[in-house]
Structures are given as structure tokens and as C-alpha cells.
A and B are shown apart, each in its own frame.
Chain A
Amino acid sequence: MARARYFIIWKELDPTRRRVFQICSFIIPLLVWSVVSYCPAVWHPMVRVTEPGSIAHFRVDALIEKRAFFRENAKAVEEHRQPASGVPTNPVYLPAPHEVAVSFYKAFVTPPRLPDEPWLHQSLGHSIKIILWGFLISSLLAVPLGIVGGTYRLFSYLTDPFIEFFRYLPAPAFAALAVAVLGIYDGPKVAIIVIGTFFQQVLMISNTTQRLDPALLEAAQTLGARGFKLFTRVVIPGILPDVYRDMRILLGWAWTYLIVAEVVGNSTGITWFINQQAKYRIYDNVYAAIIMIGIIGLTTDLFLAWIGSQLFTWKSGKKSILSRLRTVYSSPRPKPELSQEAP
């Protein structure tokens, strides 16, 4: 009975269960990570030396492969020298969750070590600014182009072949070129994000536009809508919710180019932090920074999803906050805008 409830195709679960599973999606990876980090029996391939004994090349706190450690110790015992001691541990590239949590916290509360350096939150702010500019410019161009291309064949033949070609060119390949044209500051970074996002965006939006339910168009035509009106009154509102969903996906796409974009020109933003820490193998800071990006991304997306559900009430079927406020605060009117639009 209970099993049947969970395993029905496309069957929505009740809200409580849904929440539980959603939280589990985070808990499970965290659990796996914790088990690997805290249970030496599972996977601790290295030994952290606590006492080097008589072994010349061991140092306190050095990480030694387990096999090498035991081999050296066996040799020492055989030769009646003092063996080393140590505790099993993970490789340096896999810090434990609590170490990452501490780095995460410290990264925000530690003031920059040089007076003119940005705080971490300022670096993050800079990165977000780059993303937003890149995404805004890309969207301003790609959304109209995608919608028009998806609606009128003329435009799709005029743009698609070139875009199909160009989208295979990797954005990072334009790095040196972008610097030559746009300088060393934010210009080339924004450009890399635009190049990385724009072409996918046009194709995706155009594709979405083409998937508009033809019944809507037929119905509108039956009711007498023609020409440009079909485009503005049927196509646009019809695809807008899906375009909005595409944009949410594409915003994530823009983020993937950030790490490339920020080393173009002078080093700035969260990438500078990540690269610098990785170069010196301070991996707990690297994980912390990666998690920060994840949190920013997910929060933005949840926020946008909420806005979307408020904007496109004809799709989500929900009453938006605005309309609810209106019913609370204004006296009921006979019929809103819709009645004026009907011919």
C-alpha cells in the first residue's frame, strides 16, 4: 500500500513527504562525506605522522601513503630502530565537513590581510556583478532574437546556421582577444560570459518558442486575431513562462563561465580566492568557496522560481501576492483588464 503510493509514475507526493525527500537530497551526500571523513575503517589511505621515530624523511604532520608508512616501519623494526607513529587520515584533497565549515566561517570574518584587498563578501559581490552584467547583455540580445527566430522562419534561417556554428567555439578561446579589445578590467570578463551564454540562449529560447501549443494559435485565429496581434497577444504570453524557466537554467550556465572569465585580465572575485588557495593546496578553503557559489546559485534560483510563480499566474494556477493584496485592500471591481481586451 505504502509502496504503491511512492512508485506511481508522475504521481505527486503530499507536501510533508516531498519536503522530507528534498531535505534528504542534501543530507545523503553530507552523510556519505561524513562517513568517508570520520570512519577510518572506510577509506583513509594516508597516515598523518605524529612522531617520525627514526625514519629520516618522515616529518611531523606529513601525509604518507599507508603502504609506504607500514613498509618503512617494518624496516625500522627489523633493524631495531624506533618506528614512526601516526593516525590514519584522508588525502589532503578531501577535508572533513567540519574543516570546510570552519573555513567557510573564517573566510567571511577574517579581514583581508592587506589594506587595499577586498573582503571575501566584496569579492563575491564583484563576481555577482560580472555575472549579472554578462547575463543581462546576453539576455537583451538573445531573448528577442530567440523569440523572433522561433516564430518567423525568415529570422531562424537568417540567424540559426551561424549561431549553430558559433556555439561550438569555446568561450575561453576568446580570452586573449577579449583583453585586446576590452582591456584588463571587467569588460573582457563580461564578454566571456556573454559569449558563453548567448548562443545557447538564442537556440534554447527559439526552441521553446517553437513548442508553443498550436491549438492556442488556431483558437486565436478562429476568434479573429491576425498578424502582429497573434504574436504579441498569443505567442508572447504563451511562451513567457517557459522562457522564464529557460532563463533560470541559463543563469546557471552563466555561472559556469565565471571561473574562466575572472582570470581573463586582472585577477578578481571569488576565482582569485579559489585559484590562490588551490595553488597552495589549502583545499578546505577551496571547498568552502565552491559551496558559497552553490549557495548563491541555489538561493537565486529559488528566489527567481518564487517570482516566476507570482508573475505567471496563468501558468502556475496560483494567486499571486499582488492579486491577493488587491483583493484585500481594494474594493472589488466588476471585472479587471481582461474584459477591456475582448473585442
Chain B
Amino acid sequence: MRVKHLFGLLLVIALSALTLAACKPAGKEGTQAKPAAQAKGPLKIAYSDWPGWVAWEIGIQKGFFKEAGVDAQFQWFEYAPSMDAFVAGKVDAVAMSNGDTLVNGAKGKKGTMILINDYSNGNDMIIARPGIKSIKDLKGKKVALEVGLLEHLMLNHALKQNGMKPEDVTLINTPTHQTAQTLASGDVDAIAAWQPNSGQALKAVNGAKAIYTSANAPGLIYDALVVDPQSLSDRKEDWQKVVKVWYRIIDYMKNPANEKEVLQIMSARVNVPAAEYATYMKGTRFLSLAEAQEAFKQSASLTSLYGSSKNADDFNIANKVYDKPQNPADYIDASLVANLK
């Protein structure tokens, strides 16, 4: 009899401990776990260390958001976890490339691109060992990159431009942050990566050369602010203000008098020396309002976000990243940028 009671007691203790433990961390963030769209709290925006997104830091540090009357809470992430958080609905917006926006959308989490920060203009590179001087030289060679990601798209584009087929090279699937070591190991002939990894690869292998960069294909990869459609519909005015702040940031950046301060703020955000950061800025093409409005117009060319996203969609289908073609128009809301003058 007594033994039975004891078991019961222990069970109760174990269960209550379980419940307590389960509640503890969740309870702490309980207020934030509400559907963000209904709450009038801050807009939660996840961003990571690509220069086009690090530029948001200028608006944060200079108090532009406060002046615009919008409460935007920026959260610093690694790129992949930032997408996880967006997919899980824990942030209202995320800084993402247009290609990845389609990938996440096809996998069930739609997002709307309301703003183009930049397009990559040289930061994404195909880097070859000494002796390989052009894309044509890559025939029959090994290239290390992260299969299915942007650099893969860029390589295919480069091959096509040179009249070659994807089968002309052998791909070695390698995480982007390990490409520098991979090239240095001598086991591959070329790698494809974006900054800072691409710059580190150039440093790691003496005589290595960027034989193709995103500057050869402007508009192939756009970087955007992607908003949860629900949040966009609930708080369109607030998002309009965020877009407006972005162009205040752009104006601030384009003023030569602020060059040093801009570099200081951005390099501080990623904690590297300002002189080193300057090289990454060169490979990032920040779009002015007029250029962005142009890119938000329907067109099949890469100079349009629609055309670029269609190109990414074709690539994703061809590489079985997902099976059903996505319509880029479902992922784009040009109105917020169009509203600005």
C-alpha cells in the first residue's frame, strides 16, 4: 500500500518538474511568443552580416527609426538561423536574398520582398588556383561550393555565358565558410563563395585569382527585406516608414562627408577593422530609390527583381531544390517603394 503511494508521489513530482522546466524558458519570452502581427509591439527584423544588411545599423545608430516614429527592433543572427526564425514566425521580417525567399516560400513560409537593399557587385566570386585564368579553363576541373545555393546559381550562369554546360565541371559540395581552406588544401581547382569567405580565400592561396564575380552578372543576386505577409497587411504604415528610413540611410551613405563614419559604424557591427571592411563595400551595389523603383518593374532581364527571381526559380527547379515553380510576383510588393519620391 505504502509503496503505491510512493510511486504516485514520485510521478507527481516528476511531472510537475517537467511542466516547470518546460514553462521556464518559454514563460520568459511568453509575451513575445504571441502572434506578432496582432501585437502593437516593435517590428522584429532579423539581419546578418552581409554589407547590404549591415547598413541598417546606420539607421539604428543615428536614431532614424525613432525620428520616423517606427519601433523597429533589429536582431542580429547568423544567416541560416535568421531564416529559421522567420520560418518559425518568431520575427516579422528577415534580410534575405531573392533566391532564398523563393526557397523558403516553396517550403511553406511565404515572405514578401518590399525593399531591395543592394545587389552583389563583386562580393560573390569564383576563385581559381594559379594557372586557371578563365571560366573556360575550368572544363573538366573540380569546383567546391555549397550546392543549391547562390554561388551554384552564379557558376551555372558563368558557364552558360561561356557556352559551357553545368556538366563541364565537377562540383564538390562544401560549406561556404570552409571554402578558403578547401582551396588552400589543393584538392580542388576552384571555389565559389561570398565575402568575407571569398576575400579570405584570395588571401589564403598565393596567386589565386577571381576569374568571375557577381560584377559580371549584375542583378543575378538581389538582397531584400522580406516581410511576413500577415504583418505587412496588419501594419503596412509601419513598414512604409521602415522603407522610408532605408532611403534616408542610402542618402546618408551616399554623402561623401559621412564616408568615414558609415564605415566605422558598419565595421563595428561585425567587429572587424574598418580598412578591411572597405573592400567588402566595393563589392556591394547599394540601389538608389530610382534604381530600386526600376528594379521593381516587371521585366524578364536580371535588372528586374522579377526577372532575377524567375532566373533563380528556374535554377531551383533544375536542381531540385523544390519541385513546383514559384511565381515571383507572389513574393514581391513594389508598392511601398513606389510610394516614395
User: Taking beta carbons and an 8 Å cutoff, which residues of A are in contact with B?
Assistant: 57, 62-65, 68, 113-117, 133, 137, 140-141, 144-145, 148, 154-155, 175-176, 179-188, 190-191, 194, 227-228, 263-267, 272-273, 275-277, 279-282
Q: Contacts A175-B84, A180-B88; is A141 near B17 (CB within 8 Å)?
A: yes
Q: What's the minimum C-beta distance from A187 to chain B, rounded to whole angstroms?
A: 4
Q: Which residue of B lies closest to A69 (CB)?
A: B206
Query: Cα distance A114–B62 when bound, in Å?
Result: 11
A-B contact pairs, 12 of them (CB 8 A): A57-B207, A113-B271, A137-B25, A175-B84, A179-B88, A180-B87, A184-B46, A184-B90, A185-B28, A266-B46, A266-B75, A266-B81
Interface of B (DSSP majority class): helix
Establish whether residues B269 and A175, one from each chain, have CB atoms under 8 Å apart when the complex forms.
no
Q: Contacts A279-B177, A282-B272; is A180 near B90 (CB within 8 Å)?
A: yes
Q: What's the minimum C-beta distance from A122 to chain B, rounded to whole angstroms?
A: 14
- B29 interface hit (Cβ, 8 Å): yes
Establish whether residues A141 and B21, one from each chain, have CB atoms under 8 Å apart when the complex forms.
yes
Query: Cα distance A140–B14 when bound, in Å?
Result: 9
- B24 interface hit (Cβ, 8 Å): yes
Establish whether residues B76 and A266, one from each chain, have CB atoms under 8 Å apart when the complex forms.
yes
Q: Contacts A175-B81, A190-B25, A279-B196; is A65 near B206 (CB within 8 Å)?
A: yes
> A137 — which chain B residues lie within 8 A by C-beta?
21, 24-25
Q: Contacts A179-B90, A279-B196; is A144 near B28 (CB within 8 Å)?
A: no
Q: Which residue of B lies closest to A176 (CB)?
A: B84
Establish whether residues B84 and A113, one from each chain, have CB atoms under 8 Å apart when the complex forms.
no
Query: Cα distance A181–B89 when bound, in Å?
Result: 10
Establish whether residues B57 and A114, one from each chain, have CB atoms under 8 Å apart when the complex forms.
yes
Establish whether residues B200 and A186, one from each chain, have CB atoms under 8 Å apart when the complex forms.
no
- B275 interface hit (Cβ, 8 Å): no
Q: What's the minimum C-beta distance from B32 to chain A, rounded to whole angstroms?
A: 6
Cross-chain contact of B271 among A148, A155, A227, A273 (Cβ < 8 A)? A273
Q: What's the minimum C-beta distance from B186 to chain A, rounded to whole angstroms?
A: 11
Establish whether residues A68 and B206, one from each chain, have CB atoms under 8 Å apart when the complex forms.
yes
Q: Which residue of B lies closest to A115 (CB)?
A: B61
Establish whether residues B88 and A176, one from each chain, have CB atoms under 8 Å apart when the complex forms.
yes
Interface size on B, residues (CB 8 A): 52
Establish whether residues B2 and A227, one from each chain, have CB atoms under 8 Å apart when the complex forms.
yes
> A68 — which chain B residues lie within 8 A by C-beta?
206-207
> B76 — which chain A residues lie within 8 A by C-beta?
266-267, 272
Q: What's the minimum C-beta distance from A228 to chain B, rounded to whole angstroms?
A: 6
Q: Which residue of A lies closest to B7 (CB)?
A: A154
Establish whether residues A186 and B85, one from each chain, have CB atoms under 8 Å apart when the complex forms.
no
Establish whether residues B78 and A185, one from each chain, have CB atoms under 8 Å apart when the complex forms.
no
- B68 interface hit (Cβ, 8 Å): no
Give per-residue flags for B36-70: 1 if the beta carbon is below 8 A from chain A beta carbons, else 0.
Answer: 00000000001001000000010011000000000
Q: Which residue of A lies closest to B199 (CB)?
A: A280
Query: Cα distance A137–B23 when bound, in Å?
Result: 11
> A266 — which chain B residues lie within 8 A by C-beta?
46, 75-77, 81, 85
> A186 — which chain B residues lie within 8 A by C-beta?
25, 28-29
Establish whether residues A140 and B21, one from each chain, have CB atoms under 8 Å apart when the complex forms.
yes
**Contacts A175-B84, A180-B89, A273-B271 known; 7 new A-B pairs at CB < 8 A:** A113-B268, A116-B60, A154-B7, A176-B88, A182-B25, A190-B24, A266-B77
Q: Contacts A279-B196, A280-B270, A281-B200; is A183 near B29 (CB within 8 Å)?
A: yes
Query: Cα distance A305–B90 when bound, in Å?
Result: 41
Cross-chain contact of A182 among B10, B29, B61 (Cβ < 8 A)? B29
> B276 — which chain A residues lie within 8 A by C-beta?
280
Establish whether residues B13 and A187, one from each chain, have CB atoms under 8 Å apart when the complex forms.
no
Establish whether residues B33 and A183, one from each chain, have CB atoms under 8 Å apart when the complex forms.
yes
Establish whether residues A185 and B81, one from each chain, have CB atoms under 8 Å apart when the complex forms.
no
